[in-house]
Amino acid sequence: MLRIQYKPLGIQLFFVISLILMAFQCNKHTNSQCINSKISAFQSECCDQGASVEEYTFQQEQVFVFNMGTCGADLPAYVLTSNCDTLGFLGGIAGNTTINGADFSNASLVGTVWSN
């Protein structure tokens, strides 16, 4: 007869470690607490599809572009520094491509921080 040994200590330890690891990962998208807070708020304000937050290097600075998504025409994408200072917006009705007097096409994409 096959006997299965039940080891509750091992299972309990697994769950405790899992909970600790999950606690440190909650809502951490970047190293900036300010941007993480903005992303949390943005998730409830943006479109249901196509929204994203992307990190770029622009004018030797780390910036984040908050793209609202595809639920409306001509929605602007806001550009923020890691300190949550707004540098401007891209797109919109005017089709703006300039931030701080420079064309944003010169920015280097670091990666997508969040998307839906």
Question: Would you state the pLDDT for residue 3?
Answer: 64
Residue 26 pLDDT > 60, yes or no? no
Q: What is the reported pLDDT for 73?
A: 82
pLDDT at 15: 58
Highest mean pLDDT among 6-10, 23-27, 75-79: 75-79
Contact 66, 89 (CB under 8 A): no
- What is residue 64's three-state secondary structure? strand
The pTM score is 0.75
Residues 113, 63 contacting (CB under 8 angstroms): no
Radius of gyration of the chain (CA): 21
pLDDT tens-digit profile of 87-99? 999 999 989 999 9
Domain spans in the chain, listed from the N-terminal domain onward: 31-115
pLDDT tens for each residue of 28-67: 678 889 999 999 999 999 999 999 999 999 999 999 999 9
CA 7 distance to own-chain centroid:
40
- Report d(CA 114, CA 26) in Å as an integer: 13
Instruction: Yes or no: say if 73 and 60 are a contact pair by the CB < 8 Å rule.
Output: no
Residue 7 has pLDDT above 90, yes or no: no
Higher pLDDT, 54 or 27: 54
Instruction: Give the pLDDT confidence score for residue 53 in this predicted structure.
Output: 97
